Amino acid sequence: MKEFQGFPARMEFTSIPNVFFSSLLPRITDMAELKTTLHVMAALYRKKGHPRYVSYGELLGNAGLMDSLQGVKGSTEEILRNALKMAAERGTLIHLELDRGGNSEDVYFLNTTSDRQTVAKIESGELKLAGLKARETAYVEPEEQPNIFKLYEDNIGMLDPMIAEQLRDAEKQYPPDWIRDAIKEAVNQSIHKWSYISAILARWATEGRSDGTYQRDSKKTDPDKYIKQRYGHMVRRR
């Protein structure tokens, strides 16, 4: 191995968070994971604009990183994949699988508060990256009909007390299959928000359903529209 000749008089620096040395570095025992983590941080530091992320393809084309992974058992691509997986599982990086023209592309963010918010926006469709989009999430069709709380958690997200209360209210107002189909519709649209599901249910209740979809039809009027309202007892049918 050629001896390192020392640092030059003028050079560039890469910023590394202090918490990396105090909390993260002592936990990393795999050399490939450590090298990959440092190269990802350096690549992200040199990025311009927002959001900052690095793709698997970029890392694969990083000669310095790939050379440093040689000599370890296995192919360098396999070593890189495994190192990135360990870093994501450790919580150092956030891994996101996106779609580029029908092909899968793996991108990585640093696990910061800002990047967690960015990833959430990408997954919900609120934020789009140039040439990339969140891969469609397949609706989970349960083998046996679970309660709406489990259905919500399996397909939309974690429950909080407010959402749980709204689900209980919905369970009293709508048939179970309506709620299930509304959740499915939201997932198919990549919109993971209860407000969207609630809007679907409200529209179905107002305008009716056709083959599981909701459609606006201003020409149709419910003959019981006025009878069902507050002063319906004062309305007489002819």
pLDDT tens digits along 219-230: 344 444 434 444
Quick one: pLDDT at residue 146? 59
Q: Is the pLDDT of residue 33 over 90?
A: yes
Contact between 41 and 47 (Cβ < 8 Å): no
Quick one: pLDDT at residue 100? 74
Spell out the CATH class of 141-238. mainly alpha
Q: In terms of Cα–Cα distance, which of 123, 128, 103 is closest to 51?
A: 128
Alpha-carbon Rg for the chain in angstroms: 26
Contact between 148 and 179 (Cβ < 8 Å): yes
Enclosing H/E stretch for 228: none
Look at 34-38, 66-70, 142-146 and tell me which has the smallest mean pLDDT.
142-146
For the chain, the residue count is 238
Q: Position of tokens 């039809």? A: 217
List where CATH 1.10.10.630 sits in the chain.
Answer: 141-238
Would you call the peptide bond into 51 cis, given omega within 30 degrees of 0 as the criterion? yes
Which carries the bigger pLDDT value, residue 60 or residue 216?
60
| Total Cβ atoms within 10 A of residue 52 | 17
d(CA 65, CA 115): 23
pLDDT (average), residues 70-89: 88
pLDDT (average), residues 99-128: 87
β-strands 103-110, 133-134 pairing: unpaired
CA atoms within 13 A on the CB side of 183: 25
| Total Cβ atoms within 10 A of residue 209 | 14
Q: Is the pLDDT of residue 236 over 50?
A: no
Q: Which residues contact 174 (CB under 8 A, 6 or more apart)?
A: 201, 204, 205
Q: Is the pLDDT of residue 138 over 70?
A: no
Spell out the CATH class of 18-134. mainly alpha
Contact between 35 and 84 (Cβ < 8 Å): no
Q: Write down the pTM of the prediction.
A: 0.55
Q: Is the pLDDT of residue 210 over 70?
A: no
Q: Is the pLDDT of residue 106 over 80?
A: yes
Quick one: pLDDT at residue 232? 44
List, as own/partner pairs, every contact residues 65-69 make where C-beta atoms lie below 8 angstroms and the sequence separation is at least 24, other chains included.
65/35, 65/36, 65/39, 68/35, 68/39, 69/32, 69/35, 69/36
Arithmetic mean of pLDDT over the chain: 81
| Total Cβ atoms within 10 A of residue 91 | 10
Backbone angles phi, psi at 219, to 5 degrees: -80, -20
Task: State what percent of residues in the chain have pLDDT above 90.
Answer: 37
Report residue 105's pLDDT band, with 50, 70 and 90 as the boundaries. confident
d(CA 118, CA 111): 10
Quick one: pLDDT at residue 136? 52
Q: In terms of Cα–Cα distance, which of 74, 36, 75 is closest to 58?
A: 36
List where CATH 1.10.10.10 sits in the chain.
Answer: 18-134
